[in-house]
Structure 1
C-alpha cells in the first residue's frame, strides 16, 4: 500500500494537520500541495475555500483509492519535479502547503527557489521536511549544518521553524522526526536574477570540501585584483561555514 520509492509517510496526527493549515492564509488564495497522502492536508485546504487549488500526486494507486469524487477533482496525477507551476496557475501567484515526500524534498525546494528567483510568484510556503534537512535549511554561519540550502533559501525567503513532529505521528513510521518550516518572501531578493547559477556554483565549490580552509578556493575563483579590491584575504583562514550568507551573495556580484 505504501511505496518507499515515493517517500510515502502519511501524517496521522490530526491536531498537527490542523496546526499546519493555520500557518497559511488559504481563503481565496491559489494553493499548491504536493503529495495527497491520506488527504490529511488536502481536505483541510479545500474546507478553507481557496480560489484555485491543485494537489499533485504521482502515485496512481493512491488516487484510485480516493472514493470521494469531490476531493478527487482537485488532484492531478503529475510528477511535481516536472510540472510547470506557472502554467498550472495560469501565471498567477500561488502559495505552497505540503507534507513533502521526504525523498525529493530538497529537489523540490531548489526548484521553487529557482521559480522565485525568476518570477517572484510564490506568496509563501509552509513545508514539512525531515528534521535534519530542516535544520540545514535554517542553519546560520558557524554551525556545522550551515551550507548550500541555507544560503540559497535565504536569498529569497525569511524562514521560520514552526512545528516539530515526532516520527510516531506518521504511518508507516519513518526513521526520523520531521519539522515544518514557514517561508515568507523577502521584499527584495538578495541576489540578481542572473546570479542564481553563480550562487549554486559558488556554494557547491565551497561546501563540497567544507572542512578545508578557504584560501585555495578563493584564489581559484577570483583573480588577484578581485581578491585585493574586495579584501577577500580576510576569509583565507576561515572555513566555508564561517562566512555569512550575505558575503556569499556579494561573491556572486564580483565573480
Structure 2
C-alpha cells in the first residue's frame, strides 16, 4: 500500500511505465505521497469542488487530490508516456478523473469543470508564470476559479507575495495581490523531487477576491506597471514620462514623489495613478 490509496508507490509506477523525467517538458516528479497529500490539503476542502490540475505526470498530486475527496479532477498532460499511469488512477476512482492530453497553454478544460472550481498543480517550471498570469487576467472578474494552489520555483513564489521595497517586488506581486490573497503555504528542497532541480520550490495559494483590492482599469494598470518596472532603477518621473506630458503632477496628486522608484510604490498608489491616467488613454 502507498499510504493514501491502494495503488502502487510512485517509484514503482515510474519504473513500470518508463517515466524518466524530461527536462524539455520541465518535469521534476514529486514522489512522496505524503507531500502530495499535504499539497492537496493546502487547497482546502475539495469535497464539493472540481479541480483542474496541470502536468500531473505519474499522478502523485492527482492521487492526493482524489484521496482528499475532490469531486472531480480534470488533469491536462502533455506527455503521452504518462497517460497509462493516469488511466490506472482513473480506474481506481471511477468517474472522478478526466485526463486531457495536450498542452495546457492551448487546451480549454472549462467544458469539463463546474465553476467555481479550484486549480492545483505542481506546475512545469517552463510554463508556470505564463499560466498564472493568464489565470489572473481573465476577460472579467471574479474568475471561474476560486483558488489556485501552485508549485513554483521558490524565487517565483517569493515574487508573487513580495512587498514594496524588496528586491522581489514587481509586476507579478502587483498582479497577484490586486485580485487575490496570496501566501506561501509550503517550501520544498530540491531533494524532494526526482530528478532534483537546481533550485528550491514553494507552494503558493491564491484566493480570488470578489473584486480587485482597489478600483483601476486593468489595461491602464498593466501599462503603468510594465513601464515602471521595465526601468525599475529610474525615478518614476523619468520612467513614466511617456505616459503623460505632465506626469509629475499626476504622481504628486496620488502621493508618489516624482523621484521615487517603482519598487517603493505600493499597490494602492499604483491603482490611484491608473485611475488618474485612464481617461487619457
Q: Which has the larger Rg?
A: 2
Q: Would the TM-score normalized by the shorter structure come out above 0.5?
A: yes
- CA distance in 1 between counterparts of 2:226 and 2:50 reads 34
Q: Does 1:124 align with 2:143?
A: no
How far has the Cα of 1:26 moved from its partner? 0.8
- How many equivalent residue pairs? 253
The equivalent of 1:57 in structure 2 is 77
Q: How do 1:163-174 residues align onto structure 2 when only pairs under 5 Å count?
A: 163-174=186-197
Q: Deviations over 1:59-106 (max 9, x none)?
A: 11221454515169521112211223433326x211011111111110
Of 191, 207, 217, the match for 2:229: 207
- CA distance in 1 between counterparts of 2:142 and 2:110 reads 9
What 5-or-longer segments of structure 1 have no aligned partner?
Answer: none
- CA distance in 2 between counterparts of 1:235 and 1:229 reads 6
What 5-or-longer segments of structure 2 have no aligned partner?
Answer: 1-19
- CA distance in 2 between counterparts of 1:247 and 1:199 reads 11
Of 90, 108, 117, the match for 1:84: 108
- CA distance in 2 between counterparts of 1:129 and 1:214 reads 30
The equivalent of 2:59 in structure 1 is 39
Alignment RMSD:
2.3
Residue pair 1:27, 1:51 contacting (<8 A) in 2 also: yes
How far has the Cα of 1:49 moved from its partner? 3.1
**Gap change, CA 1:173 and 1:71, over 3 Å in 2:** farther
| TM-score for the superposition, normalised by structure 2 | 0.82
How far has the Cα of 1:228 moved from its partner? 4.9
Which protein, 1 or 2, shows the higher relative CO under an 8 Å CA cutoff with sep ≥ 6? 1
How far has the Cα of 1:53 moved from its partner? 1.8
